[in-house]
Structure formats: C-alpha cells, structure tokens
Amino acid sequence: MRRFEWTAALAAAAMVLLAGCGGQLAGGGGGTSSAPIVVDLIGTFSGQNADLGSWAWNGVKLAIDGANAKGGVNGRKITLQKYDDQGQPTVGTDLAQRAISDRATMVYGSDLSTVSLAMIPTLTSAKIPQITSGQAPAILAQGSSFIFLDSTTSAVFDQTLADYLVQKQHITSIAMVSNNDAYGKGEHDSFLAELTKLAVTPTVDKVVTPDQKDFTSVLTEVRATNPKALFIGAEEVETGLIAKQARSLGITATFTGGAPMGTPTYLQTAGADVAEGTIMTSPYLDNDANAKTRAFAAAYRKAYGQDPELHGAKAYDGMNVFIAAMRKAQPDLGGQRLVDAVRAIEYDGLLGHFKYDERGLGLHATQIGTIKAGKVTPI
Amino acid sequence: MIGLAQTIVGGLSMGAVYALVAMGFAIVYRTIGLVNFAHADVVMIGAYVTVTFYLTARLPFGVSLALAVGLTAVMGLAMERVLRPLEGRDLDLMLIGTIGFGIVLESVAILVWGSFGTAVPTPIPNVPLHVGGVIVTTYQLLVVAVSAVVMVVLFLFLDRTRLGTAMQAAAMDRVAATAMGVDVGAANALAFAIGSAIAAVAGALVGPLLYVSPGMGASIGIKGFAAAILGGFGSIPGAIVGGLIFGLIEAFSSGPLSAYADLITFVVFALAMMVRQTGIFGERTGDRA
C-alpha cells in the first residue's frame, strides 16, 4: 500500500513537471500562447564599432516600446534582450546558441557583416529568423531563407554612388581604400564592379585591415596618383581615421563611400573640416525628410536625448517590419511562418518601401548626400 | 624615390612612439629583471588621462600631458608597492602580478571611459609641410621632437647621475648594492615610476595619430615589446634603435601588402631574432640573481 502511495505521488509530480515543461515550450519561439515574445538583440556594444550596437538598440527598442504601448502582438508583449558580441564572430556564434536556449522568436543582429555571417548557420538550422544591419552581399549569398537585411546591400549602395560620381559629376580619377572584413570586402567588390561597368579603372586600389590605425604607407601611394575622389570602404571609425590621415598627408581628393560617412561618428573621427564635402550614399540622410521621419526623430530625441541617424532609423524600420509580420502570422510565431509573413507584407518605412524577396533583401534604393557645414545634407 | 622617403618619414614617427614604449619595458627589465606586462595598459591609461584633461577639462595639451605623466608615475609607484613583497623572491609571480594589473587597468578604463574609443584632434594645427616632395606633418615633427627629448633625458639620467648608476647597481647585484648603501626597493620603485611616466608620454603622443580606446594597449604594447627585444632587452639605446627599426619595418611592409602588414612585420622580426638572438645591442645588464 505504501509503495502504491509513493508511485502515485511520483506519477503526479511527473505530470505536474511535464505540464510545466509543456507550458514553457509553448511560450518559446514558435508557440501559440500568451507568454511574452522574446526578441534577442545581438549587437556590437564594445570596441571601436560600439556606436553601431547602441544605435541598433535605440531603434529596435523604440519600435518595440511603440508596439507594446499598443497592446503588443494580439495582447502578447514583446520583450527585448541585449547581448554584446564585442565585434567578434566567435562571440556572435556563441550568442546565437544562446538565442536558441532563450527560445527567441527572432534575432536582431549583428551590426557587423562579419559577425552576422558567422551567426547565420546556427540560427538558420534552428529556424530562428535573423535580421541584420550588415550590408555585405556575402550575407545574401548564403542562401538562407531566415536572413534579412534591414537596409540594402553594398551592390545597391555602390551602384548609386558610382553612377552619381562618374555620370553626374564626371569624376573618373578615383582611388580606392577598403578593409578586408566582410563589409569592407563587399564595398570593395561592389564599387569596383560598378566602376568597371562604367569603364573606369581606379587610380589605385588598396586593402587595409579592420584593426589598422596608421595608413601612411597606403595613403602615400594614393597621393602619388593624385585622384579627384577617394573611395573608402570601411566602418565608421576607420573611415574617419583614413580621411583624417589622408588630409594630413596633403591629399585633396573628395572623400566618398557608403553609409558610414553619413554618421556622427565619421564626422567626429575625421573632424568637421576634413569631412566637409564628403559624398556618401545612404537611404536615410535627413530627419526632416517627411512627416514620418520627423515623428520618428521627435520620439527618438525624447527617449534618448540625441538626434537619430541612419542606423537607429533602419533598426526601427527593420523591427517594425517584423512586428507587422508577427501580427500577420499570430497566433503561431514559428520560424517558418514568421519568415513567410515577412515576405508576404509590404512596409513603408523611414528608409523607403520594403518588400522582401527570397534572398532577404527588402529595400532596393538609396540616396546620395553630402556633408555641408558639418551636416549631412541630401543632394 | 619620393615614395621611399615618405615611407621612411611615416615609419620614423610611429617608430619614435614604439621606442618610447620599448624604453618603458627596458627600464623596468634592466632594474628588476621583470617584464612588466601591464606596461601596454599604462600607455592606454596615459592616453586616456591626457585626452580627458585635454578634451573634457579643456586644459592645454602640454599641461594635460604633464598631469598624465604625474598620475601614471604615481600609478607605477603603487604597482611596485603591491608587488614589492615578491621582489627578489619570485619573478614569475611578479610577472603574473603585472598581467593582473594590466587586466585591472583595462577594466577600469572601460568603467570610466566606456568600452568604445575616441578620436583625438591634433593639439597643434596639423599642417602638411612639403620637403622636397615628401610630406611631413607638423604633428609628426612634434612627436619625434618630444620623443627625442625624453630619450636623451632618460639616457643622461641613467648614464650620468648617481641615482641612475645606483639603479644599474641594484640590477646587477642586489646584495652588493645594498651593502654599498643603495636602497634597492627605492631603485625598483623609481624604475616603475619612470617606466610608467614614459608610457604616458607615448600614449598621449599616439592618441591624435591613431585612436584612443581601452584595447589600444594591446597593439601598441606588443609592438613596443617586440621593439625592446629587437634592440636587446634591457638596453635603453637598444630600445630606441629597436623602436625606430620596428616602425620602419612596419611602414615598408604595409606599403605593398597592407592587408598583411602585421604578418610581414612579425615574420621579419622573427627572422631578425633568429639571426641575432640577443638583439642588436645584446644585453648589458649583468647577473640578476
């Protein structure tokens, strides 16, 4: 009799435990429950590119706070968790594993193409949708149906930029300096391909490392070719350092490049006098562009006490695309359903019109801007 | 030809900074026989303190530099004081202690200044001067000039003053030096203070050339350390020559294949060490038992 009581008690305990686990399982990634939806933001919050992480956080959080204030996704709140990948691919993959154990519905990250690339296999095999601030064409070339870009690729950026420089400004004497991480390589390959299409050969084409700080040797070679424009394909701080050192070596070329040049970090690193006249391509150049950007900028200033820039804006757009997709896919937010929903919707954001294709590219156009009196201005 | 001269100019200005870092390593090594692995992070702290006084408190650059030198010298004294119980007993433990100090300094920097870095404008208008087709910037000249002054002063101090000789004596034979009335503890403390002060000068000078961040010590420190070994570890003239040569090797290797500059630099360094294991100036300090 006593043995029977013990067995019954154990069986009851096991049932309670199982029921608990069941609830837990349903609460995670794909389930249909009223538990909060977990979004993991894996960003670069330390090191030279730390600004990127904090901008992404600001944009994503603003979008999620806005959605939660309106009742979340059909009554389910969205919770945002923050992880620092330190700009290291190995840390990034480790955090991707963490996202699996967090039962994250989706991952926002990372800010660097190199880290984003490293995370793709882990997240894709776990069917966790991933949206990244990275722009390297290599990200889309992975062929994963779970990866999305929150803006556009270097191919689109550099086509717009090369067309503007060569066809509108008739500048054909262009030198190139880019770094050899995934972003820099993407910028290099895309810009060079566009120049080749336009029958322009760069006066010199130099590659540096992402951690390099002294560019004297490379810039000496650039100076010897006396280019009209210097294309820089690197992240914000490195781009600023290259521009600053180029001017101090007497290079008078116009600096030109991608979205990093439209950020306050570039302006501050290079110095306002050096950055003046820089020509860049970016899908978000102006907080006063329209009613939507003005409203976003006002909310951003209220929340963080600073002006938004491209990275905060695109993170806000990217997260809002996913929130809209969650609303469409609910009550089942499983990975496959969610990515199908992202591809099924269209979204008019701060950066433009988003319509995601099979590869994960949603935004297909960008603009040209310049730095005038220390301020990024659309052309 | 102009390209060659330009590369030499660039190499020498970075080389001057490496020489300063190498001298800091060398002075502690020649006095105590210890490799101070926290040295690279003292360079970083020196850079940050200078930048804070210069950009935040808006003091003149020279004053900021002097304050940073004073502060890091005190930090060097504190470091020596903590490690003093191990002096003359177990150099391995002291060495591990310096690694620990390095980690602490980096963490403190992240706490105080954040994990991201800051760009520093040059303290003097950075005008490119054309010298026979070669461009020399005014700030490069300042870096080389300040480094040269520090090198000469330190060399004269160690070579021509009683205190400098006493430090050398303490290094050569601890017991005999004590018997002759040399305060070995004080000599060691002074070595740490001087090494740290020079590190601050290197950090302050390199800030506007490069970028100030909590991790900056790692890249500059390893090159300064390699420069000290190249010159002959423990030798002050060796540190100077080693630093300049290291700057030049780096400049030349980053020209043709800049994406592999560090690789080429350290391969050349390794080859040089295989040919001459004791470094250029050999080792001048004697028994350190």
pLDDT of amino acid A196 = 96
From its phi and psi, is residue B264 left (phi > 0), alpha (psi between -120 and 50) or beta? alpha
Which sign, positive or negative, has the C-alpha torsion B41, B45, B51, B56? positive
User: Total structural domains in chain A?
Assistant: 2
Measured distance CA(A289)–CA(A71) in Å, rounded: 29
Measured distance CA(A199)–CA(A30) in Å, rounded: 50
pLDDT of amino acid A7 = 55
| Strand ranges for chain B from DSSP E | 128-131, 134-137
Residues A232 and A299 in one domain: no
Is residue B285 situated within a structural domain? Answer: no
CA distances B34 to A7, B26, B91, B94, B239, Å, are 68, 9, 7, 8, 16
User: Smallest CA–CA separation between B59 and chain A, in Å?
Assistant: 19
Whether A98 shows a pLDDT value over 80: the answer reads yes
Residues A192 and A304 in one domain: no
Whole-number average pLDDT of chain B: 88
- Please say which residue of A232, A257, A282 terminates a domain: A282
Is residue B134 situated within a structural domain? Answer: yes
Is residue A51 situated within a structural domain? Answer: yes
Is residue B266 situated within a structural domain? Answer: no
Whether A128 shows a pLDDT value over 80: the answer reads yes
Is residue A376 situated within a structural domain? Answer: no
CB contact under 8 A, B254 and A217: yes
pLDDT of amino acid B283 = 58
Q: What is the pLDDT averaged over residues B172-186?
A: 86
Tens digit of pLDDT for each residue in B49-95?
A: 999 999 999 999 999 999 999 999 999 999 999 988 887 778 888 89
| H helix intervals, B33-123 | 39-51, 61-83, 91-113
Is residue A140 situated within a structural domain? Answer: yes
pLDDT of amino acid B211 = 86
Q: What is the CATH number of the domain that holds A240?
A: 3.40.50.2300
Measured distance CA(A110)–CA(A46) in Å, rounded: 13
- For B1, nearest residue in chain A (alpha carbons): A224
Residues A45 and A138 in one domain: yes
Whether A21 shows a pLDDT value over 60: the answer reads no
Whether B285 shows a pLDDT value over 50: the answer reads no
CB contact under 8 A, B258 and A212: yes
Q: What is the DSSP letter of B54?
A: I
Cα–Cα nearest to A351, from A296, A302, A275, A278:
A296
- Please say which residue of A265, A282, A299 terminates a domain: A282
Instruction: Please classify residue A117 by burial: count the beta carbons closer than 10 Å to its beta carbon, then call 0-12 exposed, 13-18 middle and 19+ buried.
Output: buried
Whether A15 shows a pLDDT value over 80: the answer reads no
CB contact under 8 A, A220 and B116: no
Is residue A17 situated within a structural domain? Answer: no
Residues A182 and A254 in one domain: yes
- For B118, nearest residue in chain A (alpha carbons): A269
Whether A8 shows a pLDDT value over 60: the answer reads no
Whether A20 shows a pLDDT value over 50: the answer reads no
pLDDT of amino acid A3 = 54
Measured distance CA(A285)–CA(A293) in Å, rounded: 10
User: Smallest CA–CA separation between A209 and chain B, in Å?
Assistant: 5
Q: What is the pLDDT averaged over residues B110-127?
A: 85
pLDDT of amino acid A77 = 95
Q: What is the pLDDT averaged over residues B4-13?
A: 86
What's the domain range around A41? 37-152+289-364
Query: Rg of chain B's alpha carbons, rounded to an integer?
Result: 19
Confidence band (pLDDT; 50, 70, 90) for A70? Answer: very high
CA distances A353 to A107, A258, B75, Å, are 22, 20, 56
What's the domain range around B49? 19-214
Helix, strand or coil, per DSSP, at residue A364: coil
Cα–Cα nearest to B123, from B152, B146, B154, B155:
B146
Interface of A with B in 311-340 (CB under 8 A): none
A-to-B residue pairs, Cβ atoms closer than 8 angstroms:
97
CB contact under 8 A, A209 and B130: no
- Tell me the β-bridge partners of A40: A81, A107
Q: What is the DSSP letter of A47?
A: S
Whether A195 shows a pLDDT value over 90: the answer reads yes
Percent of chain A with pLDDT over 90: 79
CB contact under 8 A, B211 and A216: no
Cα–Cα nearest to B46, from B263, B198, B235:
B198
Which sign, positive or negative, has the C-alpha torsion B141, B146, B147, B152? positive
Q: Is residue B246 within 8 Å of residue B272, measured between CB atoms?
A: no
- Of A17 and A236, which is predicted with more confidence? A236
Task: Choose from A45-54, A321-330, B154-163 the range with maximum mean pLDDT.
Answer: A321-330
Tens digit of pLDDT for each residue in A252-285?
A: 999 999 999 999 899 999 999 999 999 999 999 9
Chain A residues with CB inside 8 Å of B9's CB?
216
- For A215, nearest residue in chain B (alpha carbons): B254
Nearest CB neighbour to A48, from listed B135, B213, B258: B213
Measured distance CA(B265)–CA(A315) in Å, rounded: 40
Residues A214 and A324 in one domain: no
Residues A238 and A337 in one domain: no
Is residue A21 situated within a structural domain? Answer: no
Confidence band (pLDDT; 50, 70, 90) for A187? Answer: very high
Structure tokens belonging to residue A285 = 């150049």
Whether A27 shows a pLDDT value over 50: the answer reads no
Q: Is residue A271 within 8 Å of residue A239, measured between CB atoms?
A: no
Helix, strand or coil, per DSSP, at residue B212: strand
Residue B179: other Cβ atoms inside 10 A: 9
Q: What is the pLDDT averaged over residues B236-240?
A: 91
Is residue B103 situated within a structural domain? Answer: yes
Q: What is the pLDDT averaged over residues B265-287?
A: 76
Least confident residue range of A4-13, A272-281, B150-159? A4-13
Is residue A9 situated within a structural domain? Answer: no
CA distances A255 to B191, B240, B266, Å, are 47, 37, 32
Nearest CB neighbour to B3, from listed A48, A206, A224: A224
Tens digit of pLDDT for each residue in B243-262?
A: 999 999 888 887 666 778 78
Confidence band (pLDDT; 50, 70, 90) for B26? Answer: very high
Whole-number average pLDDT of chain A: 90
Is residue A78 situated within a structural domain? Answer: yes
Nearest CB neighbour to A46, from listed B115, B122, B210: B115
Residues A229 and A197 in one domain: yes
CA distances B56 to A46, A71, B120, Å, are 21, 44, 11
Residues A235 and A312 in one domain: no
Is residue A7 situated within a structural domain? Answer: no
B238: Cβ–Cβ under 8 A, 6 or more apart, which residues? B26, B228, B230, B231, B232, B279, B280, B281, B282
Q: What is the pLDDT averaged over residues A339-350?
A: 95
User: Total structural domains in chain B?
Assistant: 1
Residues A321 and A176 in one domain: no
A47 in reach of chain B (CB within 8 A): yes
Residues A148 and A294 in one domain: yes
Cα–Cα nearest to B80, from B42, B128, B127, B113:
B42
Residues A180 and A268 in one domain: yes
- Please say which residue of A282, A297, A326 terminates a domain: A282
Whether B288 shows a pLDDT value over 50: the answer reads no
pLDDT of amino acid A11 = 54
- Of B283 and B153, which is predicted with more confidence? B153
- Mutation target for A interface from B135, B143, B252: give the one with most A CBs within 10 A: B135
pLDDT of amino acid A23 = 37
Residues A205 and A320 in one domain: no
B191-210 as b/e: b if 16+ CB within 10 A: bbbbbbbbbbbbbbbbbbbb
Is residue B234 situated within a structural domain? Answer: no
CA distances B106 to B46, B101, B216, B251, Å, are 12, 9, 10, 28
Cα–Cα nearest to B261, from A288, A203, A211:
A211
Tens digit of pLDDT for each residue in A143-183?
A: 999 999 999 999 999 999 999 999 999 999 999 999 998 89
A120: Cβ–Cβ under 8 A, 6 or more apart, which residues? A130, A139, A142, A144, A146, A147
Is residue B10 situated within a structural domain? Answer: no
Least confident residue range of A33-37, A72-76, A343-347, A371-375? A33-37
Q: What is this structure's pTM? A: 0.81
Residue A88: other Cβ atoms inside 10 A: 19
- Of A13 and A279, which is predicted with more confidence? A279
CA distances A275 to A92, A178, A187, A246, A279, Å, are 32, 17, 20, 11, 9
Q: What is the DSSP letter of A76?
A: B
Whether B225 shows a pLDDT value over 60: the answer reads yes
